[in-house]
Structure 1
Amino acid sequence: MLRIVSLAVTLAVCVARPNQWDDQLGLFPADGGDSQPILPRAVANPTTPNQILDAVLEGAIAYMEALGWCGSKNVQNGESNLPFEVNSDGSSSENFSITKANVTGLCSLRRSKSASFNADQSVLSGSVVVENARANADYTVTFAGVGEAPAQTVSGQVVERVDKLFADIQINLDNLVPQNIASYTAKIGSRPA
């Protein structure tokens, strides 16, 4: 149970900051400049939805490689107080903290199904997947102790593997050129065919 909670906390920290995806993944210039960070290697001028999404993903992977994130990407540490009702002895509050958190496997990023345009080709919709990602972290849980239960601190390391981490993504386009991420929703697990 503790492993599931720590994985959920680590993944939530990783994906809960949508305004920073553009800068952190390097899909688009952070300064709004005219540079072209997307490097379409498969085709010279991507025009189809799949070609454009593949070019975005190639650019993201190249950027992550340049930052050294293909090996490991540090993520934000976190801490939370967890309230518990303890039988008839009253309530308790446990402190749960995650430190030295990182994620591996990010460079397995790829398109998971065909992408599509909206009617006026101003928005590209698609689904991407990261396979065999690992969330690694040190954790500490401090139990304050209630009634006959003694105070206790438990610590250790958790390593959780996610077979597939999907994200449904929408990208704003201007003349078929990606501008920014309009939205995304992350999902863990297997996607039905």
Structure 2
Amino acid sequence: MSRSTPFRSLALGAAVLLAATPALATDYVQAPGSTLAFATQYDGEVFSGHFGQFTTTLSFDPADPAAAKLDVVIPLASASTANADRDSTLQGGDFFATSKFPQARYVARGFRDLGDGRYAADGELTLRGTTRPVTLTFSFTDGAPALLEGKATVQRLDFNVGGGDWADLTLLPNPVAISTKVRLQPVE
């Protein structure tokens, strides 16, 4: 046995341990300049709005997307479409019912890698006391700040949003397009 063999074995053992060590995810919080928007139609006319407030936390390592965690809390009273009548209607009992259900929450545990820096988060949205699966597809760009840009489609009637006369799909379609651009900074 040569003198270099024990050192070579030690180096090989260290390399194997390092390779077996799981990658560490970075924990992020939402940074200023983030947006969360929605769009749908009313009587054939497209309208859009946004939530002026929402809070995002993310734990993510692109090398291990299956271990990721995403949590978004949305105060529903912050919804704005730049139309006072429509905004008042959104806050009421037929839509968000903000006095009874002040917030929505989206939680995803584990992402799927779609390739080319794209991912899918198969999470659950809780809105008006109802929880249903919703998939967010997004791109993630590391940087200062990191950037998550994503889209989802929510079927509003699955959450009893737009009940009563508003359940008429000829006036207001069921799908609502959601888009987000979240700037993220690492937790210090």
Q: What is the TM-score with the length of structure 2 in the denominator?
A: 0.38
Query: Highest Rg: 1 or 2?
Result: 2
TM-score, normalising length: structure 1: 0.37
